[in-house]
Chain A
Amino acid sequence: MIRLVDYTLTEADGQQWVTVVKDIDADTGGVTRNIHRFPAATVSIRAGEYGLTGLDEALDVVLHEPFLTDDPAAALLTARSIDAARIAHLERIAAVKRVHAKRSGQKDTGDVLTRLGAALRIDPDLARAHAARTRAIRARLRPDTEEP
């Protein structure tokens, strides 16, 4: 289980950044504390790249991505379609969650996630820009596929 302990929002030169503190149950037992820093725009970017359904899904993806060890780029930019890439990426995220499955006796701090979700938003212009960017790169790498 990856539990959110706290988060902070900071701004540097006009760009907003998120720092999230997470507690992670390792397979080997014990808890490790992870601190994750990402641009607040990442949720909008990821929603645009993969065509995610909304902020909750995008945030879930972003918070679990630091534990991926395989290659999302290959899927996003070279899969036969963006739909296929999205399905594959969500499956990888689900696999990260399975590794860190919830153990009995641990309390869930879902309120941190709720508050973080309320502090962020999907910027539709930014999402559209990154959707277009992804299509443009895919057109070069996978000219055999036609995206909608």
Chain B
Amino acid sequence: MAGEWAARREGLAALVAQVASLQQQINDLRAAASVRNAAISSPDGQRIEILPTPEIRMYPSSGDAYASLFAAPESISGATEAWFGLKAATNSSGEFFGVAADPNHLRAGYMHDPDWLARGGLAYTDATQAIVGAYQANVIQSGLRCGTDGHLNLSGAWWDNSVYAADTGDAVLAGSVAFGAATSISVSYGPTMASVPKVVYGILNSSGTYPGHKLTAQSATGFTVGLSASLAVTLNWWAAQVA
């Protein structure tokens, strides 16, 4: 009889211990739940909110505008890997400047919410390339791509110096101008360039005449091409500042 009571006491004690343990787990979960939506705020409204999404929002004032650091399970490239985003307050169009990184690449620049389409200036790197460029809806409009395979791509168009005056510091100038019949043709860039651009040109003319031609003058303001016969030509040229 005594043995039976002793066994029951032990069982009861085990049950009590188990209940206490469960109570502790409930308390732990409650504590964890309270942290999942924590807010730390100052009297003047500056605050940090921690959301379970997970996201940390930083409010610099009592207003609704915030900058945030967040993570998501699906990356921009579609991989189900954790990636993180860093974004400034959105503008009235729901767009924001931000940074995004996942295991495959990093973007720093202007992203379009919510699709993260690149628009405007973008600095981008992944394991095989670096790109600095200007984009519209993920399509590069002008920029430079450098690949780890050693290849470069330069996208966009030079300003046409037969339409737009050059800028003093332009590294490369280019133009295409149709001239009437003459034995010398001259182009002025507009401003005085920072150095004397070195000119490379071609002359286009579909007639049976094959004139001799040469660069007779070049300076920081422009250049002149001389022709051995009076001829109307289209002058295609580019010039680079070389130092």
Contacts and interface: CB of A to CB of B under 8 A. Distances in A.
- Same complex origin of A and B: yes
A15 interface: yes
Contacts of B180: 21, 35
B179 interface: yes
B163 A13 contact: yes
Contacts of A71: 195-196, 219-220
A58 to B, nearest CB: 12
Nearest to A92: B219
B192 interface: yes
B177 interface: yes
Interface in B158-173: 162-165, 168-169
Nearest to A48: B191
Interface in B167-209: 168-169, 177, 179-188, 190-196
Contact of B196 (A42, A67, A73, A134): A73
Contacts of B68: none
Interface stretch (B36-44, B110-118, B222-230): B222-230
B218 interface: yes
A137 to B, nearest CB: 7
Contact of A67 (B179, B182, B217, B230): B217
A39 B190 contact: yes
Contact of A34 (B165, B169, B184, B196): B184
Nearest to A6: B180
Interface in A1-34: 12-13, 15, 17, 21, 24, 32-34
B221 interface: yes
A43 B162 CA distance: 16
Contacts of B188: 36-39, 42, 62, 65-66
Contacts of B192: 45-46, 49, 72-73, 76-77, 134
Given A45-B192, A66-B217, A66-B224, 20 more contacts: A13-B163, A13-B164, A15-B163, A21-B180, A32-B182, A34-B183, A35-B179, A35-B185, A36-B188, A39-B188, A39-B190, A42-B191, A62-B221, A65-B188, A65-B221, A69-B219, A71-B195, A77-B194, A133-B191, A137-B194
